Amino acid sequence: MSTPFPNEPLMDFAVESNRESMAATLRRLRAQCPGEVRPLIIGGRAVRTPNILDSVDPSNPDFLVGRVCCASAAEADRAVEAAKAAFPAWRRAAVEERAAVLRRVAVGMRRRRFDLAAWIVMECGKPWREADGDVAEAIDFCEFYAREMVRLRERPRQRHYPGEENFLVYEPCGVAAVIAPWNFPLSILTGMTMAALVAGNTVVVKPAEQSPVIAAALFELLAEAGIPGGVANYLPGLGEEAGRRLVERPDVALIAFTGSRAVGLQVIESAARRRPGQRRVKRVIAEMGGKNAIIVDADAELDEAVAGVVASAFGYAGQKCSACSRVIVLESVHEAFLTRLVEATRSLVVGPADDPATFVGPLIDEEARRKVLSYIEKGKSEGTPALLVECAQTKGYFVGPAIFDRVAPDSPLAQEEIFGPVLAVLGADTFDQALEIANRSDYALTGGLYSRGPAHIEQARREFHVGNLYINRKITGATVDRQPFGGFKMSGVGSKAGGPDYLLQFCDPRTITENTMRHGFAPEEKDEAPSSPRQP
């Protein structure tokens, strides 16, 4: 029996030395910003382009965190060609060799943990604990996928038959395009990239336009870990140019995407078209967000429910695909719950991400801020404003938490993904009605229930149709291996990240059957070791 997977512990910022180290790292890195323009990495070499992407601090957009070269379609072509050239050797590399690279990256992440968290704070506006959790999850992905690939290679073979041996082996698909998001700029980027690499694929990575600097840090770690040139290629650029070209290339075998539903559906549609020279059906792994609900039952422990809803709705300013944006409350406890929810939310600190006291940081950019503010305006007519927190920050993309009560189940506020600190509160007369409202969504990513009734808990297990259901706890913060993450319906397609099936999506399974009944005798060639499908 294998030992349980040991998740990376979170940093305890209650310890004074940890707080001092984080603050000192932020000061040191800020003094170095923006630094030199970071190049693309194609075929193991730095490639510079005339176009530049600027990365700014969402807490203070006047502060330039870093500058990176911006890839066009031409550089995307070069990167795919480099990945194709590197694929045969990387495909033949032993699983242990590929897994060792991932483990060395994890070692580097632990060594540079404060640096990586500080870059996330500055570039993506994540408060300290959220940024450190991002790094810890990235470490987990490296270690877990290294372990899982070894397990897949060593899994029991297929059933033999007298005179016949049967084997199931997993081989890489080819070139993988990784199109990553900004809201988990290290962990999701690392997870998709490492899964592709350890399975034997070569990768071209296009990070989000808002978070290219932390992606460059990952590639520094890959270089330190000894990744061969061309196996992993760094391609920051615009989605409309470099990203689109990667999706359209006929020699890209699979695409791992995390982002909005609109872009994800475009990726799936484009990848489904066969183009000249294309010799396989492209595989798409896509995570596309959610409109997640928490049900508060009549017998729920209200203080626990309030704490869980607040953390799920307003952590990282609601910019998690798993965030709670709807809470459905049984009428008998509706007013009591709402009163406590409003007061708990009012106490949250809204401010710059580099302030350790901050709970609600900035939104990622001005476009996101405008979108969230437009939903808050809609909410004033679609529900009753229960709380609209004014933000005192004069710089940055800040929006204070907003809670709207008595929102209709079919209103845009209750159906559309907002990706900000806006929470719709809905009422339900019965538990059956609460479940029906919760399931009335195009998405099916996460959901939650606060209840002390065994019958209702069991009913939710059967009938609350989401990829990750959390009972009597917050609905964000899935942990690798413990809570494999991913949804269905319009929330995405593919198996769960951080779970036992995830790597299978990056492989082509092959069955090898050998008739072992001897038919004559073929002598072994001299000076050549015998080969056998018994060791595929």
| Order of strands, sheet of 175-179, starting from the edge strand that comes earlier in the sequence | 45-47, 40-42, 232-234, 202-206, 175-179, 252-258, 283-287, 492-493
pLDDT value at position 78?
Answer: 98
pLDDT value at position 160?
Answer: 80
Lowest mean pLDDT among 374-378, 431-435, 524-528: 524-528
3: buried, middle or exposed (CB in 10 Å: 19+, 13-18, 0-12)? exposed
pLDDT value at position 248?
Answer: 98
Question: 10 Å Cβ neighbour count for 458?
Answer: 10
**pLDDT(531) > 90:** no
pLDDT value at position 262?
Answer: 96
Domain 17-288+491-509 has CATH 3.40.605.10: yes
Tens of pLDDT, residues 169-192: 899 999 999 999 999 999 999 999
Tens of pLDDT, residues 67-79: 999 999 999 999 9
pLDDT value at position 535?
Answer: 41
Q: Judge whether 321 counts as a catalytic residue.
A: yes
Q: Judge whether 220 counts as a catalytic residue.
A: no
**pLDDT(404) > 50:** yes
CB 334 within 8 A of CB 300: no
The CA–CA distances, whole Å, from 291 to 341, 413, 420, 423 equal: 19, 10, 12, 11
**pLDDT(533) > 80:** no
Alpha-carbon dihedral angle through residues 408, 412, 413, 418, given to the nearest 10 degrees: 160
Tally helices (H) and strands (E) across the chain: 15, 21
Instruction: In whole angstroms, give the CA distance from residue 75 to residue 459.
Output: 53
pLDDT value at position 421?
Answer: 98
HEC profile of 249-315: CCCEEEEEEECCHHHHHHHHHHHCCCCCCCCCCCEEEEECCCCEEEEECCCCCHHHHHHHHHHHHHH
More confident residue, 169 or 160: 169
Mean pLDDT of the chain: 95
Instruction: In whole angstroms, give the CA distance from residue 188 to residue 137.
Output: 8
**pLDDT(530) > 60:** no
Tens of pLDDT, residues 350-384: 999 999 999 999 999 999 999 999 999 999 999 99
**pLDDT(529) > 50:** no
Q: In CATH, what is the architecture of 292-480?
A: 3-Layer(aba) Sandwich (3.40)
pLDDT value at position 393?
Answer: 80
**pLDDT(532) > 50:** no
Annotated catalytic residue, options 130, 241, 287, 417: 287
DSSP H or E segment with residue 124: helix 113-124
Annotated catalytic residue, options 70, 142, 321, 324: 321
Q: Report helix, strand and coil shares of the chain as percent, to nearest 5.
A: 40, 20, 40
- The count of C-alpha atoms lying within 13 angstroms of the C-alpha of 535, restricted to the half-sphere facing its C-beta, is 4
**pLDDT(534) > 50:** no
Average pLDDT over residues 205-228: 98
Average pLDDT over residues 311-338: 98
- Indicate the domain borders of the chain: 17-288+491-509, 292-480
